[in-house]
Amino acid sequence: MLDGAARARHAAAMKPILIRNADVFAPEPLGRQHLLLAGGRIIWMGSTDLELPPVLDVDTLDLGGRRLIPGLIDGHVHVTGGGGEAGFASRVPAPKLSRYTRAGVTTVVGLLGTDDVSRGPRELVATVNALREEGLNAFAYAGGYHLPPVTLTGAVRSDLVFIDCLLGVGELAISDHRSSQPTLDELLRIASECHVAGLMTGKAGILHLHLGDGPRGLELVRRALDETELPARVFNPTHVNRRKALFAEAIDLARRGCHVDITAFPVEDGEDAWSAEDALMRYLDSGAPPNRVTISSDAGGCLPCFDAEGRVTGMGVGESGALLESLRALLARGVALADVLPAYTRNAADLLRLGGKGRIEAGADADLVVLDEAGHACDVIIGGLLHLRDGQVVRRGMFEHDSG
């Protein structure tokens, strides 16, 4: 419960906001627009400025022609921290609220990875709820890398039906030495549970699949499409740019109806992988459906390198900031913002069935990011509340220090 002072602060923070002189990408370009935000939504947008009576006590944000985009949706985040492949000390700490908001991320989907033992579904759901209390849009996947999936209710389908924040199952690992080596029948059983739960609840009901470096690639998914009645949209492979041959497989699956997810991880010169920006341009140039590709960060997860015996030889950590970094790289190449922005916003919202997100229009959620001239997030609004103003964090998580 909020005390009186906290309620007063919350009410003050929820004042309507009038945004003036925004160069809106919704994600399609709409030119100079003005917007009125109230009650967590965009309640009006137009090219003619509003003159509001002072009694309404509206905060005004004049963007002076800066670009306004939908908040980024990071659909693959280790909100509890990932890692653990090199001992307990290699467990990555959970990212704090401002690590997301500084990066222009307004919605995250949390998941468990290799370590779905010391970190489990209770901690995952609790962390998602904590982020929600702090003002971030947060959801999660049931299960983790392995079969049988870790659950809260004893079954995947009932987890998805009865636990509000759970949208599907993930990241179930295939073609990876760390996976539980699922058979086709096992994969189909989990996929069918996702699909039926999605029908029952209106949730996404997808199976978010971690792809490793194994030579089998997406063979199991192709067989699932060939041999069953399950809709292709149920299967959502991620990390598809980690090998060039795997990426070619992913493009073929997108043509068959799957939505594929590119990971914004670092790629060295000469590596058999595509960077997020290279992968997205190759995808769009391939003629595959442009609405079936998304980009996520793997934030909070470790990015390990292994030797031939499966031992960790090096490790990085994913950051949500990789999303805007890849977007800036695309813009530096002269790519039109409107051509690539859907992969960071609307495509993910539609796949995850998050109505009102990933777009800027009257009635949509007031999850917005203002980009400065260099493509960094300078203002971030989530649910009508300012989290970042002029590049400075104005809302922090409970345990964040002012310098965090």
Cα(73)–Cα(341) distance, rounded to whole angstroms?
11
Residue 226's φ and ψ, nearest 5 degrees, are -75, -35
Tokens 């990789």, residue located = 322
Q: Which residues contact 189 (CB under 8 A, 6 or more apart)?
A: none
Residue 137's φ and ψ, nearest 5 degrees, are -75, 120
Q: Look up residue 235 and give its two tokens.
A: 């299967």
Burial bucket for residue 152 (CB in 10 Å: 0-12, 13-18, 19+): middle
Q: Which residues contact 248 (CB under 8 A, 6 or more apart)?
A: none
DSSP 8-state secondary structure symbol assigned to residue 50: P
Would the annotation count 208 as a binding residue? Answer: no
One of 116, 298, 365, 379 is an active-site residue; which one? 298
Q: Is 59 a catalytic residue?
A: no
Beta strand pairing status for 312-317 and 302-306?
antiparallel
Please say whether the beta carbons of 404 and 96 come within 8 A: yes
Instruction: Return the SS3 of 132.
Output: helix
Alpha-carbon radius of gyration of the chain: 21
Would the annotation count 76 as a binding residue? Answer: yes
Phi-psi region of 313 (alpha: psi -120 to 50; beta: other; left: phi over 0): alpha
Would the annotation count 239 as a binding residue? Answer: yes
Please say whether the beta carbons of 236 and 209 come within 8 A: yes
> Which alpha helices (DSSP H) does 175-303 contain, by range?
184-201, 219-227, 244-255, 276-285
Please say whether the beta carbons of 147 and 178 come within 8 A: no
- Cα 20 to chain centroid distance, Å, stands at 28
Cα(192)–Cα(58) distance, rounded to whole angstroms?
49
Cα(308)–Cα(31) distance, rounded to whole angstroms?
53
Beta strand pairing status for 41-46 and 392-393?
unpaired
| Active site amino acids | 298
**Residues at the annotated binding site for Zn(2+)?**
76, 78, 210, 239, 298
